Structure 1
Amino acid sequence: MPPLAPSVDSAFSGSQPAAPRQAWWQMAALACLLWAWMSTVANGNLDSQFDMLENYAWSQSFRWGTHKHPPLFAWVVGAWFAVFPQTDWAYRLLSYANVWVALAGVAALGRRLGLGTLAQWGALLLLWSFPYTTLAGKFNANSQLLPLWPWTAALLLASWRASGWRGGCASVLLGLLAAACMLGKYYSGVFLAGLLAPVFLHPQGRRWLLTPRPWLALAVFALALWPHLDWVAQHGWATLAYAADQNGGQTVWRHVLRFALSPLLYWLPAWLALCLAHAAAGRREAGGWRRAAVRAAWQSWRPQGWGDTLFWLAFAPWALTLGFGVAGVAELSIPWAIPIGYAFSLLWLRNLRALDAAALNTALARLQRAWWPALAVALALALGVAAFRALTGQADYYRPSREAAQAIVQDWQARHPGQTLHWAGGEWAENAMLAFYAQPNLHTVPGLPDSLPARLTWPGPWQSLNGLLLCPLGPLSQAPQPAAVPATQCVAQAQAWLAARGQPAAPRVLTAQRHGWAFPRAMPFAYAVFDVPAATPAP
């Protein structure tokens, strides 16, 4: 086989794979809509860790930081629900609109790399991987990076290849998108550091460094990040402290191993489908179809020399993260791998086209014929998962977040006619369900209203406003009496805090449960509610 050129616009012999029969963006949009519906049906609630409710709580007011994460995803959630109703299906729609924008970024990156119609196939193929389907249903700090990274990489190539005002505009956008990556999650620093490899190893990248464009992008990046850094500095470096707490300070080899395998664990269906289809479409060699499949699998990951821009875009985030884990700088979490594979499918397709372009063309045609049947199988699996969760009585599926939120707010209004409930503390971030499902203008605070996280989230005059503390008690076969309320950490903190202020510490216990054909079991959940009336005296 002839040597492969390292150029961004490498020329390939053989036929150009045909474009999808339908416009790729229409196929992707329909698939994303279907995945949004499947995720809503299969899960019953938003997510078990309450990340999405946490996002909504932070979105209630515009701030340049939070006590945990940078603020971009809270801004996105706030903008989304300024237009859409506060429902689970609308939130899932946001999750998969995020995926569609991510796929558009992958297609744009593929075009910048000179991949032709493979750019479209690279976007579509990602919809057979877990980060863009099952895992994408939870919109959080990891999944919001799915669109940011490919669009930033595409703008890097646009900046170094353009000149004049086009190059200047691309550089400004590159700086803004790079800042957005950091405002999404500090982990994006690994991605941005990984961009240095193609810049320094490719001749065009090195020439770009001798122009004003990278420095314009760097200046825009710094200016866009400055308000967040200023906020963090004025608030005790809270966000950076939370990020630092995630570092283990030692090498945890089981976490390193899991992250090392994440490209296969998370992208396995798409990679296997492509490699097996390519092997089946290719010529039979000595050793047969199995040997062809092994060769395709191996070839799909190989670089085309040291200056291979696409390889470094695909490989650098994974390799750098793994290096930090081995060095003990960070205790790796496998969900961090969700955004790293934005260029994987483009790499596979380019390499397999170089291996046998005719076989790739046939393989893609077969995969397109399997597109809608595969989605039908996914739909059947989603319905099966929902049925299994319903019949086995899984608590996360039956948790009555909407019903409980509305019952709690209505109960408070019935007991305090003519008064306004202004804030809700207690169990973070499940307490945000009161605002999301029942009272949108209700401020949600983490834990107790005088805690540091609460002051960073909502520095309002809580002492002069009516509020409550919410402590979920979980599923119960029979609602407990107040004297029998479980001594959870939330309940104990609420009671101690109220007692120190001379306030009644006995909770009001309310129950709620899901109803309808999708919830055949009777599974009541209990919630302890503590009133905090306005003008609570200091201890």
Structure 2
Amino acid sequence: MAAPSWSSASGVVAAGVSCLLWALAQWLARGNLDGYHDMLENYAWAQAWEWGTHKHPPFFAWVVGVWFAIFPQTDLFYHLLSYANVAVGLWGVWHLGVRLGLRNIAPVAVLLLMWCLPYTTLAAKFNANSQLLSLWPWTAALLLASWQERGWRGLAYSVALGVLAGASMLSKYYSGVFLAGFLLPILLTASGRQWLLTPRPYVALAVFGLVLAPHIAWVAGHGWITLGYAMDQGSGDTQWGYVLRFALAPLLYWLPGWLACVAVCSYQQAQVQPQAFWPLWWRLAVRSWMPTGWSDALFWLAVAPWALTLAFGIAGVAELSTPWAIPIGFAFSLLWLRNLQMAVPHATAAALRVLHRAVWPVLATIVLAALVLATGSARTGQVGYYRPSAEAAQAIAQDWAQRHPGVALTWVGGAWAENALLSFYALPTARTLPGLPDTYPAHFNPYPNWSQQAGMLLCPRGPVRPDGSQPLPTLCDQQAQQWLLQRGQNAQPILLAVQRQGWRFPHPQTFVYAVFDVLPQPAPAHRLP
């Protein structure tokens, strides 16, 4: 094949600029973080720095904590974290391609992933699923490095393999399916089987166990709550609708990159050997997903997570969630290009150059689309776009300071996880608690001495209705009032009305937030004898 017309440096620049533009596009088009408050939930968990939570393993929350120990706590920098995570994952895909002997196609394989939904639109919401975009490719690359290298280098790669495998499990237990899929390339390839006869896999396994041990101890000491949450994802029955959606995920999530790859190669081949385009397209489309044989390590790395997940779903072990598919396709573009290169080498060489040149027009389209989406959301008054999370946090913090001068607000409970907006946007030292501070699930990551410190219960009520009527109290309000009355405290809410202003928000909407003060109770007086 002809030498590629780009350097490694130009590929890094293209991928980096892509990630930066996607972060800016998401910040511009969304107006807020995600509508389910997953990203605020991550931040709230990051405040505790525990080895577990009541829902998920903790690694992705630790990443959030480290990031915001360095960078400002704003929506833009949170989106930058999301796409920095993507950039790290793309770098891992590049190294995986090099380890597989596919250095010449690795740059375009990376760029093709930047056209696929998991690495673009879906990556904007940083959570347990998207965290795996960075961890899985590097773990796969380190598996190959561990069995390809010898001596101290091989042992060092094995240690790194164990660390990243552990980090994957500490991000989401679903990574167990990904790690189980390693058995296929290990057992079906000669180099993999030879690796099993060395100390390296057992070093990796030992390190993996050491990384997981503190988390396992934490879970065991907290009633296996995190594992119980994961097990609740399965009903014991096969949910065929979820199975079908997950079965189609490789096409639904990676369709733009796959279509571009196959279409350009088909067109280039049709120029070399004039023939009907569509029959050629169908032949190459099928060929792009095929293995070269039972010992095809790339094929098994690419397909095993998807196939094993489907098997578990069919068996009723888990109720499959389509977002679980976000990290599974890290090796798909390498597989497509490798197979097409074998089938039509000259056409693929030309296609690589075409696909590389298409990067900048695609990025320009992304910026244009972000402007169109932002304009549409602003003009049509989308509630999620106009939700004043940052403005509400500032207003609540200022209101507290005026009503309680000199009294530090040390914790905030209420509507999890939207209540984390106060800590994220205004008061980083205020600890966010899920719900009420002395009830489930707050006691899994307890805040000591909360009753001796000033706190608040925050209950967002939503936007004022179009007819001007106020939003009704929520279940959060009812629970807060009942809890306060039981403790002899004032249960009257303080209502704050907040709007977003500025050029991005031409049709302001008023949102109402209810806050309930929780003041420390005075210690009982000691009577003199």
From 276, 292, 316, give the equivalent of 1:328: 316
Structure 2 residue aligned with 1:9: none
Residue 340 of structure 1: CA displacement? 0.1
Q: CA deviation at 1:117?
A: 1.4
Are residues 1:123 and 2:110 paired? Answer: yes
CA distance in 2, matches of 1:20, 1:352: 22
Q: Is the 8 A contact 1:20 1:121 kept in 2?
A: no
Q: Secondary structure at the match of 1:251?
A: coil
| Partner residue in 1 for 2:148 | 161
Partners of 1:270 and 1:518 in 2: CA distance: 32
Q: Any residues of structure 2 matched to 1:89-488 within 5 Å, and which?
A: 89-283=76-270, 288-477=276-465, 486-488=472-474
- The residue type paired with residue 131 of structure 1 is P
Moved more, 442-451 or 113-122: 113-122
Q: Is residue 500 of structure 2 the alignment partner of residue 499 of structure 1? A: no
Q: Distance in 2 between matches of 1:511 and 1:341?
A: 45
Unpaired runs of 5+ residues, structure 1, are 1-13
Amino acid corresponding to residue 535 of structure 1 in structure 2: Q
Distance, in Å, in 1 between the alignment partners of 2:256 and 2:471 is 47
**Is the 1:251–1:325 Cα contact (8 Å) retained in structure 2?**
yes
Instruction: Classify the secondary structure of the residue corresponding to 2:260.
Output: helix
CA distance in 1, matches of 2:197, 2:355: 44
Question: Cα 1:302–1:465, aligned 2, differ >3 Å: closer, same or farther?
Answer: same
8 Å contact kept, 2:108–2:356: no
Instruction: Name the residue aligned to 2:517.
Output: 531
DSSP-derived class of the 1:531 partner: strand
Structure 1 residue 369: Cα displacement: 2.0
- Structure 1 residue 61 displacement after superposition: 2.7
Given candidates 30, 39, 47, the residue that maps to 1:60 is 47
User: Which amino acid in the other structure matches residue 62 of structure 1?
Assistant: W
- Report the Cα offset of residue 363 of structure 1: 1.0
Q: What are the residue-to-residue correspondences of 1:26-37 with 2, within 5 Å?
A: 26-37=13-24
Determine helix, strand or coil for the equivalent of 1:527.
Answer: strand
| Conservation of the 8 A alpha-carbon contact between 1:51 and 1:140 | yes
- How many Å apart are 1:85 and its aligned residue? 0.5
Contact 1:427 1:447 in 2 (8 A): yes
Distance 1:235 1:16 in 2: 57
In structure 1, how many angstroms separate the alpha carbons of the residues matched to 2:344 and 2:147?
A: 31
- Look up the SS of the partner of 1:102 in the other structure: helix
Question: What is the total number of aligned residue pairs between the two structures?
Answer: 523
Measure how far apart 1:16 and its partner are.
Answer: 5.3
Query: d(CA) in 2 for partners of 1:536 and 1:520?
Result: 48
Identify the residue that residue 4 of structure 1 maps to in structure 2.
Answer: none
- Deviation digits for residues 469-523 of structure 1, max 9, x if unmatched? 0100001048999xx7723111111111111112221211101011112111120
Letter of the 2:504 counterpart = A
- Cα RMSD (Å): 1.7
Is contact 1:42–1:383 with CA below 8 Å preserved after alignment?
yes
**Aligned partners of 1:522 and 1:462: how far apart in 2?**
37
Kindly indicate whether the alpha-carbon contact (under 8 Å) linking 1:256 and 1:332 is maintained by their aligned counterparts in 2: yes
What amino acid sits opposite 2:72 in the alignment?
P
Determine the C-alpha separation between the residues in 2 that align with 1:283 and 1:397. Answer: 46
**Does structure 2 retain, via aligned residues, the 8 Å contact 1:172–1:217?**
yes
Unaligned stretches of 5+ in structure 2? 525-529
| Structure 2 partner of 1:6 | none
* Structure 2 counterpart of 1:5: none
SS of equivalent residue, structure 2 residue 70? coil
Which amino acid in the other structure matches residue 91 of structure 2? A
**Aligned-partner Cα distance in 1 for 2:138–2:522:** 50
Letter in 1 for 2:516: F
